Amino acid sequence: MGPNLWGYAAMGTLVVGAAIAGIIWANSEKEERDRADTDTIKCMTQNISTHEKRHLAKLSNSSDYEPLWNAYSEVFPRCVGRADQWERKDRLMTYAWQLMLATSDGFAALRKAER
C-alpha cells in the first residue's frame, strides 16, 4: 500500500470507530432516559400520599380533566429525575395516570368512594 492508501485506511477506521462509539453512546443514553422515565412514573403512582390519592380520585370522577391535570402537575416536580423529562411531562403524567387506573385496586376503591 502506498502512503495515501494508509491514510485513507486510517481515516476509514476512525470514521467507523466513531460511528460505533456514537451508536453505543446513543443506546446507553436511551437506556438511561428510559430508566429515569420508569422511576418517575413509579414515583407518581406509588410515592403519593393517601390524601393526594383521594384528591386525584375525586377529580378523576369529573368530566373536566383540567383540575385533575393540574393536581397531577403538582406531584410531577417531586418525581422528576432528569431535566429532559420536563419535555415529556404530558406523556409521563398520562402513563402514570393510566397505570394507576389500571393496576391499583386501592385507587379504584377510592374513586368509587369519592363518587
- pTM, two decimals, is 0.69
pLDDT at residue number 4: 56
The label of the residue with cell 369519592 reads: 114
Over 60: is that where the pLDDT of 3 sits? Answer: no
Cβ neighbourhood burial of 51 (10 Å; 0-12, 13-18, 19+): exposed
The per-residue pLDDT for range 44-79, each reduced to its tens digit, is 988 888 888 888 888 887 778 888 888 888 999 999
Q: Give the mean pLDDT of 34-52.
A: 90
Q: What integer pLDDT is reported at residue 50 of this predicted model?
A: 85
Supply the pLDDT for residue 53. Answer: 85
Q: Which residue bears the cell 377529580?
A: 59
Q: What is the pLDDT of residue 111?
A: 78
Find the helix or strand (DSSP H, E) in which 58 lies: helix 50-60
Number of residues in the chain: 115
Q: How distant is the alpha carbon of residue 93 from its chain centre?
A: 8
